[in-house]
Every structure is written in C-alpha cells, then in structure tokens.
Amino acid sequence: MSNSPATDGSRPSSAVVLAAGEGIRLRPLTANRPKPMLPAGTRPILEHVLNALIDAGVDDIHIVVGYQANRVRSHFGPTYRDVPITYHTQSNQLGSGHALLQARDGPNGSFLLVNGDQIIDHRIVEAVSTAHTDAATLAVVEGPEAVDYGAVHLDGETVTELIEQPASGEFRLFNAGVYAFSQRIFETLEALSVERGELPLTAAIQQLIDDDHAVGGVRTDHFWMDATHPWDLLSLSRELLARGWVDAPAVDSDVFVHESAHVHPDATLVGPVVVDSDVVIEAGAVVGPYAAIGASATIGPGSVLRDVVVDTDTVIGPNTTAVEFVAGQGCEMGAALTASGGPADVVLDEQVYTDVDLGGVIADRVDVGGGATLEPGALIGPEATIGAGVVVRGHIDAGSEVVR
Amino acid sequence: MCGIVGCIGRGEDTVDVLMAGLRSLEYRGYDSAGIALGPEMRVLRKAGELDELAEVVEANEPLGSYGIGHTRWSTHGPPNDRNAHPHTDENGRVAVVHNGIIENYAELKAELQETGVTFTSDTDTEVVPHLIAKALAAGDDPETAFHNTVDRLEGSYAIAAIIDGSETIFAARQGSPLVIGVGDECTYLASDVPAFVDHTRDVVFLEDGHRVIADTDGYVVLNEDREVVDVDVETVSYTAEATGKSGYDHYMLKEIHEQPTALRQCFSGRSDALEGTVTLEEIDEIPQPNAVQFVACGTSYHAALYGAVVLREMGIPAEAYLASEYALSPPPLSLGTLVVGITQSGETADTLAALRDAKSRGVSTLALTNTVNSTAARECDHAVYIRAGPEIGVAATKTFSSQLVGCNLLAEELVDGPRDLRPLIESLRNLPDDVQSILDTSAAEELVEEYGGSDAYFFIGRGTNVAVALEGALKCKEISYEHAEGFPAGELKHGPLALVTPETPVFAVVTGDDERAQKTLGNIKEVQARGAPVIAVTDGESDAAEIADETLMIPDTDERAAPVLANVQLQLFSYHLADALGRPIDKPRNLAKSVTVE
C-alpha cells in the first residue's frame, strides 16, 4: 500500500477531461459524435485517454461534454473500469478554459487536465502528477510541432512563457496538453473574460505566470498523438497497433482477435491487426497489416484490406479492395468496392493538403452499391447513397445520392 | 412491493448507511419511508418520497448502532405516516419492516384484537410486531419470539425486525427477495444488492424459508426448523455507480440511449454468422418443446406476445398469458410443454407464482430475465439472461428491446431443423446501429409539439407489431398519464373506433409490405375517415408514409428486428410527451419498478 504513488496525498487523483468539441476539421466523421468518440484502432479515442488516466492512478474522472454529449454519456455511463465518472455540460463551445470552468464544482483540491481527443502514454500523466506542487504543471515535449501546438519557454523546470503562435522553427519545446492544476486556476479563469468568442486555457496559464505563481514544466518523450484531419485516424490506428494498445486478446504476436469474433478458417489475418467483438470475417478475406475492425463489423469473402479503420457495425461486401481507408459506423458496402490508396491531394475547408496517403473516407451509415470506386482522397458524408459502379471523386455531401 | 434494508456493525454511520441504502432502493417504491434504530429503539417514518424522511432525520439527528429501514409501495392502506414502516408493538419494544403480503393477517389481527391489542395502522405488517411482543410477554427470548412469530405467517414476505434488549437484527425470507451483504465486522441486509454495494460486494442470496440472525459478531442463516444452514458467499461484479444517471435528465432517457450497447451485449457471442447458427449455451441441451406457454406481466407480457408470434410462425404452438391470471386460471398443460417466464427483475411475484404453478404440474420452466441469481433464475429449470444491464427507470425501455432479441435467440435455439439464419443474424447484429440511427435522427420530439395535449393516443399494429402497439400505449400511460390504448389494427373497427376523433392521433406501426402491412394501411384509412391524424411508424417498404399525416422512420431491416426499432420511436415520443407535461418520469405515480406482490 505505502509504496503506491497514488496514495501520496499531494498527488492529484482526480482528472478533468475536455470532450465537448466537435472537431470541425474531422468532418464529415463528426456528424453524429464528437471527435473524442472517433475510432483509434477499434475503440473511441476517449477510451484510450481514460485508460491512461486510470493506469496513472486516477480514481475520479470528470468529463466536460457538449457537442453530441449523449454519445459520450451512453458509451461510458456512470463508471468506467470501476472509476466513477461525473459529466459536466458545456452548452457553448467557447474554448478550453471555458470548458474547464464548467467542471468547477467537480474535483476537490489539485487535479489533472487532459484533452479527450488526444492519445497519451499514461507515463506522461504520471510525470505531471508527480511533479505537480504549486499552481500549475504541464507536460512539455520537444519536436518540430511547436508551430501547431504552441511553444513553451522553459527555465529549468519552470515555465516562463507560453507562445501561442511561434514563428516556424524558432522553438522546439511545446505544450503537450497534459496539465495539473490547483483550484486557483478556476479563480484565474473567472477573472478573465471570453474574448473573440473564446477563453483559452493558455490565457489562464499565462495569467498565472504573470501573477508570479509557479508554473512547472515536465519534459517528457513518451508517446503522444492526436488526430487533426480524417486521415490522421489511420496513423493513430497504426501507432496503437504497433504498440499493441488494443482491447482484444493476442492470438499471435501482433494479431488481436476478440473471443466473440468469427474469422473463417480460410481468411487470413496479417498483423498488426485487431478484430473486435462479434466481427465476422468471411472466407478468403485478407485483413491487415494495419487493420482495425470494429465491433460487429463484417468483412465479405475475398476482400483485401490493408491500412484501414472500419468502425462498428459496418459491412464491407465481397471482393473489396481497400487501402488507406476509413469507414464510419453502420455503413453498407456492396461487392467489389475499390479504394486503392493514396497519395492524393485532398481539399478540406477550402484548404488543399497535398500528397496525403488516403484511399478514402466514408462517414457513418453510407450505402455504397456494388462495383463502386473511390478515387484517392474521396470523402463521403454521412447517410449518402452511392450507386452501383459509381466512381467517387472529391467530396460527397451528407445525405446526397450519387447515381453515376 | 417495497424495499427493506438493515445494517449492524457500522456504529455511528448506521443512519447514513440505512438512508443511502433506501435511496438506492427507491425504485422499489416511494410512497413512504422509515427507519428504526437500536439500542434506543428510535423510529422515524414519513409519508412521501425519501426526501421527506431525510428532512425528518436531519431535524432529529437520531442515534443508533444498528437498524432497519423501509421504502414503501402501498398494498394495504393509503400511503400516510401512520401506514409507513417500521411498525412497532404497543410499547415500542419491537420494530418491523416488511416487503410482501401476509395473507392470513386478518385472522391474526382479529386474534390479537381479542386479547386487547390496539392497532394503529391499516397494514398487514403490523401483526408482526404485536405477535413478537406477545411471545416476549409469554416468556420467549427475542430469537425464539421471532421464530415463533414467523412460523405463524402465511403469504410472501421479507421481514427484518429489531427487538429492545437484544443487539440483533432478525430477518426472514419467504417469497420476497432478501440478500445479506457480508462486510468487515458488519452485516447488511436488503431487498436488493445496490443497497449496500458501496460497502461490500460479498453477498449471500437467501432462499425461501431462510432466517437470519445478525449481530455484531456476524450472521447465522437458519432454516424453518431453526437449524443452521451453510450458505455460499458470492462476489457480485457491479458497482453502485452503475446506477447513476450519467448526466441525463432521467434514467429513462439514459436507458433509451443505452439500447445500442444493451442490444450488442444481448447478442454478443450467441451467433455464428459464418455458419448461420444461433447458440444459447445456457439451454443448449433442451429438446424442442411440443408447445410453449409464456407467462409475464406489463411490458414483459408484450415481449411474450411477440415471442409467441415468432414461435407460432416457426410451427410451435405458443401462447402468451398474463401471469396474474395464469396461476389462478391455469390453462391445460401437456407433457413436453415449456413454460417461459419473462421478468426483467426475476422477482415479479405474479410471474413467479405462475412459474411455480407450472413447475408443480410437472413441466419444465425457463426464466428469460435480466437479473442474474434472481428468484426466477434460481427457481426455474433453465435461465436465459438478456444482459441489458441495470434498469432503474420504472418504465421499462432497454430491457424490452433486449427481451425481443432474447425471444428470437430462444426460439432459434429451441426449434430444431436446419435453416439459414444468416439474414436474421445480420439484422440482429445490425440492431445496435439501427437503433443508434433512430436516436441520432428521431423526429419524435417535434411530434410532441404538434400533438401534445390531444384527448387520447391510440396505437395499432398487426402480427409482431401488436406487441409494439400495446407497449407504445403502456409507455405513454405510465409516464405521461395521458389516455392511451393499443389495439391489434383489425380489432379497432369492432369497438374502439368509437373513441377515434380528430383529437386522437393514431400511431400505426407498419413494417414490411406483406398482407399484414397492406391490411393495416386499410385501418389507417378507416381512422383518417374519422378525422384522426395518423402517425406512421414505418420502414418505408409499404405506402404507409405516403398515406399517413406524419412519419417516424425506422431503418429497413428483417421483419423480426423491425418491432424493436419501431418501439424505440414510440419510447421517444412517450418520453418527450411526458417531459413536456413535466411528469416525474422516473417515478410515475402509483408505480414501482418490479412488483413483488401478487
């Protein structure tokens, strides 16, 4: 008992998880659920986040929900892995600081804060938790991504400045989005006002620094990853599979199959691959490497899938070829779909992303007729219907019907 | 039905433990509540919901190192302070809580009154403390007095008592649930595990005839002959928090949204889609029955109606009976008949009585239930679990959906013969996502704006959709208190049509496009001719959506799975109707979650 770090009174054992945002850049996958509920491997991103917290000794979880909150609530319910969950609702998405304020009545004493849409090694949480002494502590990572995530100026183990939008290449240390706070953060947030429709957490941290409160920085090089664009779900899944961070028993070194799945003896699983509960993989299918097949999905006979994320309840028809392909929940695909992989130039929100390794993305409950082809980088919105033999290029809107 | 709790060995935490226990048993009744504490023999009780009692407790700050408590759902006497438990003898030396019905109470009461005992309540329970007091006066020690009293009781009961001068809780079980929670140097008693699962997960499930003597040294279980019996201590897996609302406004809405998960759990591992087979391991060995009789009450009865249609379509004679009628007017039984009791809680007294009646006549019985180790599961020859997870909302939602899937699994397992089940399996596997798509897109809430405030709501359907129509109406009645009736669609013109006016919307459940669907379309026109607006709940296979005034769409699926989906739309309508009317959705008046009295 006494050697367990979790029992050390000064370490925060509560955590707040921010899971209220839609994740606009992940549309059309987020039509029915917030970004934290998108699949990382075969489980929602948020499930991995909660695993990391619980593995780090957290025993009281507060989730801030907003966009499509019911999806989060009904997935986790009142407890996850025997740890109680309290839900706090953020009705308007006014930034991370505003989101945290919604959980003001949640944790007692110091607490951890993580993003619900970002996968983290539990050791990052432990490092922040152990180092936390005063007003705030944050995990600091070294890498070229500082441009995207906001740079950190570190003096020893003290954060001296947060730089929101650093010039490229100027800084190498950045904020990994894993924090520990004392209750003071709530007062600081309340004293700040929502500006330009947003109250970012970093503003409050900067305020703490300006007010001479100690803000600690913990250097860490453990695994850390998030998804910004739909195709990032493929790399997220790849990373998790490579680490064996999947929730199914291993039947071979890197082949993970849930006990209730049915894999035909003439089907081939090529690791790394994960097959979740009640999946059916029919004869002659070749699934993997880097395939994540969600619960109750069906892979038709003779289909070849590589580098795919297939979400729950989706049916892939016979003789499909799918490479670098993401399918949402409850899709039905007819025979012989072809999605042969990137690279592609993808246009998202009027921005062009070049050389993306993406065969195609299909959002929830899309029906695809037999013999359809996805040109590299195709994005199909939810509940769209694609007729037999159609060749899909670019972006198809939600609910639309494409017959040729 | 009611809920009882008890605890000894918790010292000054006793009041908090009892109150928290009652809080988690409120689903069993909420007309009145009370606690009794020893060794001071303090009794506090109050009509109304538990909050009323909580105020009294806060004001009085009662002390005690052991005690018993009760939350009541009235059977004998109105829900007022006087009829609230615990009941005491004339001197306040004995306090008793009771769940169930003492059938010979009138006789016992008359006998006691003849000896000059004054009764202060209308309850059947009050005979118990007076009988104990009389035995004490006759020189019995407390334990003997308790045994001698219980020996005289007929009917169904779970009883707990404390007696002045003995730091002990005495309890007995006959026909109503009672479980022991085994703690560290303390013992809990309750009608159901959630009452103490915060403190211990080690549980003894008592059987009928068992009596418990619990003191600060632990507990002993005795049989009717007062001999010590060995009991197994089992460790239960669920946590107290599993019964929280997760931020939903009501348990009912939470449970509606849990249906994709519940359905996935119900079906998981029970089919092989590659082979096209269904396997229920629990009953793998049962031979094909010659006939099936379902017994059930309320929502479970509607699932039974559905199950009977499914079995008949497979060529097995099958009927659904209301359990409360079955035991008293039993239908003929032939050898090789299987009697299936459907009960969410596994404790429904009427269903248990019907199953016991069937068993006494020598046929096999099977419980289709949500509650592992429930009385139904233990007493029947076989048990199949629907795995829906705890359901707290009084109005059953997710368990009905899972019962329908359970009926399909049961039917396919019971009936021999090779057939390709792949289409059925595919549709049942798709149910979680199909239900989710309804939850994501349902127009039911908008319909409430249009049709809330109508004079009445009618629900019609044919075949398996009769069950959906009846269930839709029951849900509407239970939580909105609005007048609602469900009918087999063809029956409307034989009487109920007289009730149909422009102020009575009719929900028509039409799935597929077979003769039943076609004939239901005719019935839609019948009611439209009387000016009633029609809301079609349909998969779009027939012309129902075109004919009807409004539509609640469901995804296209197998005809066996469609009723599950149609019902979800009706659940949402009833929920939003009741919510708009400001009803106490999780605690509708006069109702309790599972009814453990006949």
The rounded distance, in Å, linking the Cα atoms of B32 and B590 is 12
Is the pLDDT at A4 greater than 50, yes or no? no
Cβ–Cβ < 8 Å for A231, A341 = no
> Which residues make up the CATH 3.60.20.10 domain(s) of chain B?
3-242
pLDDT digits (tens, 9 = 90+) for A157-171: 888 888 877 776 667
The rounded distance, in Å, linking the Cα atoms of A230 and A226 is 11
Cβ–Cβ < 8 Å for B439, B256 = yes
| Residue A9: band (very low, low, confident or very high) from pLDDT cuts 50, 70, 90 | very low
> Which residues in chain B have Cβ-Cβ distances shorter than 8 Å to A282?
274
The rounded distance, in Å, linking the Cα atoms of A84 and B559 is 40
> Which residues in chain B have Cβ-Cβ distances shorter than 8 Å to A78?
241-246
* DSSP code at position A336: T
What ipTM, to 2 d.p.?
A: 0.79
The rounded distance, in Å, linking the Cα atoms of B157 and A70 is 41
Of B2, B186, B297, B407, the active-site residue reads B2
Residue of A nearest to B441 (CA): A32
* Residue positions counted in chain A: 404
* DSSP code at position A181: E
Q: Within this chain, do residues A185 and A243 fall inside the same structural domain, yes or no? A: no
| Residue B397: band (very low, low, confident or very high) from pLDDT cuts 50, 70, 90 | very high
Judged by CB atoms closer than 8 Å, whether chains meet at B243 and A78 is answered as yes
pLDDT of residue A170: 67
Is the pLDDT at A2 greater than 70, yes or no? no
Q: Which two tokens stand for residue B183?
A: 């703690």
Q: Within this chain, do residues A346 and A204 fall inside the same structural domain, yes or no? A: no
pLDDT digits (tens, 9 = 90+) for B506-521: 999 999 999 999 999 9
| Residue B370: band (very low, low, confident or very high) from pLDDT cuts 50, 70, 90 | very high
> Closest partner residue to B429 among A78, A79, A296, by Cβ?
A296
Catalytic residue check, B245: no
pLDDT of residue B238: 56
Q: Within this chain, do residues A155 and A271 fall inside the same structural domain, yes or no? A: no
Is the pLDDT at A3 greater than 50, yes or no? no
pLDDT digits (tens, 9 = 90+) for B279-321: 898 898 899 999 999 999 999 999 999 999 999 999 999 999 9
Is the pLDDT at A197 greater than 90, yes or no? no
Q: Which two tokens stand for residue B281?
A: 């391991």
Q: Within this chain, do residues A250 and A203 fall inside the same structural domain, yes or no? A: no
pLDDT of residue B75: 67
pLDDT digits (tens, 9 = 90+) for A224-254: 888 888 999 999 999 999 988 888 888 888 9
The percent of residues in chain B predicted with pLDDT above 90, rounded, is 66
Q: Within this chain, do residues A220 and A296 fall inside the same structural domain, yes or no? A: no
Strand ranges for A182-259 from DSSP E? 215-219, 224-226, 250-252, 255-257
Residue of A nearest to B427 (CA): A313
Is the pLDDT at B591 greater than 80, yes or no? no
Q: Within this chain, do residues A205 and A150 fall inside the same structural domain, yes or no? A: yes
Is the pLDDT at B454 greater than 60, yes or no? yes
CATH class in words for B442-598: alpha beta
pLDDT of residue B376: 92
Span B245-436 CATH architecture: 3-Layer(aba) Sandwich (3.40)
| Residue B524: band (very low, low, confident or very high) from pLDDT cuts 50, 70, 90 | very high
Q: How many domains does chain A have?
A: 2
A246 interfaces chain B, CB cutoff of 8 Å: no
Predicted TM-score of the model (pTM): 0.78
Residue of A nearest to B261 (CA): A75
pLDDT of residue A6: 38
The rounded distance, in Å, linking the Cα atoms of B554 and B563 is 10
Judged by CB atoms closer than 8 Å, whether chains meet at A76 and B246 is answered as yes
Is the pLDDT at A8 greater than 90, yes or no? no
pLDDT digits (tens, 9 = 90+) for B51-85: 889 999 989 888 899 999 998 877 667 778 888 88
Q: What value does the mean pLDDT take over residues B241-266?
A: 84
The percent of residues in chain A predicted with pLDDT above 70, rounded, is 96
Catalytic residue check, B186: no
CATH number listed for the domain at residues B3-242: 3.60.20.10
Give the distance, in angstroms, between the CA of residue B74 and the centroid of all CA atoms in the same chain. Answer: 16
Is the pLDDT at B339 greater than 90, yes or no? yes
Distance from CA of A22 to the nearest CA of B (A): 15
Q: Which two tokens stand for residue B3?
A: 């809920």
* DSSP code at position A35: G
| Residue B597: band (very low, low, confident or very high) from pLDDT cuts 50, 70, 90 | low
| Residue A334: band (very low, low, confident or very high) from pLDDT cuts 50, 70, 90 | very high
Residue of A nearest to B429 (CA): A296
The rounded distance, in Å, linking the Cα atoms of A327 and A310 is 5
Q: Within this chain, do residues A221 and A254 fall inside the same structural domain, yes or no? A: no
The rounded distance, in Å, linking the Cα atoms of A321 and A337 is 6
Q: What value does the mean pLDDT take over residues B201-229?
A: 92
Cβ–Cβ < 8 Å for B549, B535 = yes
Q: Within this chain, do residues A90 and A217 fall inside the same structural domain, yes or no? A: yes
Q: Within this chain, do residues A342 and A295 fall inside the same structural domain, yes or no? A: yes
| Residue A375: band (very low, low, confident or very high) from pLDDT cuts 50, 70, 90 | very high
> Closest partner residue to B433 among A79, A259, A313, by Cβ?
A313
* Residue positions counted in chain B: 598
pLDDT of residue A169: 65
Q: Within this chain, do residues A299 and A333 fall inside the same structural domain, yes or no? A: yes
Q: What value does the mean pLDDT take over residues B511-538?
A: 93
Q: Name every residue in B having a CB less than 8 A away from some CB of A.
A: 239, 241-248, 254, 257-258, 260-261, 264, 267-269, 272-274, 426, 429-430, 432-434, 436-437, 439-440
Q: What value does the mean pLDDT take over residues B103-121?
A: 91
> Which residues in chain B have Cβ-Cβ distances shorter than 8 Å to A277?
264, 268-269
Q: Within this chain, do residues A260 and A158 fall inside the same structural domain, yes or no? A: no
Range of the domain at A168: 5-226
> Which residues in chain B have Cβ-Cβ distances shorter than 8 Å to A90?
none
The rounded distance, in Å, linking the Cα atoms of B321 and B415 is 21
Find residue A12's DSSP bridge partners.
none
> Closest partner residue to A260 among B243, B269, B274, by Cβ?
B269
Mean pLDDT of chain B: 91
Judged by CB atoms closer than 8 Å, whether chains meet at B432 and A313 is answered as yes
Judged by CB atoms closer than 8 Å, whether chains meet at B269 and A69 is answered as no
The rounded distance, in Å, linking the Cα atoms of B66 and B39 is 7
| Residue B1: band (very low, low, confident or very high) from pLDDT cuts 50, 70, 90 | low
Among A43, A60, A70, A263, which would you mutate to test the B interface (most chain B Cβ atoms within 10 Å of its Cβ)? A70
> Closest partner residue to A329 among B245, B273, B433, by Cβ?
B433
- Kindly report the CATH number assigned to the domain that includes residue A267: 2.160.10.10
pLDDT of residue B587: 82
Distance from CA of A96 to the nearest CA of B (A): 20
Of B134, B398, B477, B593, the active-site residue reads B593
Nearest to A280 by CA among B561, B409, B275: B275
Q: What value does the mean pLDDT take over residues B169-184?
A: 91
A298 interfaces chain B, CB cutoff of 8 Å: yes
pLDDT of residue A7: 36
pLDDT of residue A1: 35
> Which residues make up the CATH 3.40.50.10490 domain(s) of chain B?
245-436, 442-598
Lowest mean pLDDT among A49-53, A265-269, A347-351, B260-264: A347-351
Return the residue matching tokens 């709530």: A186
Give the H or E element holding residue A316.
strand A315-316
> Which residues in chain B have Cβ-Cβ distances shorter than 8 Å to A87?
246-247
The rounded distance, in Å, linking the Cα atoms of B203 and B373 is 11
Angle among Cα B72, B18, B230 to the nearest 5 degrees reads 95
- Kindly report the CATH number assigned to the domain that includes residue A60: 3.90.550.10
Q: Within this chain, do residues A214 and A335 fall inside the same structural domain, yes or no? A: no
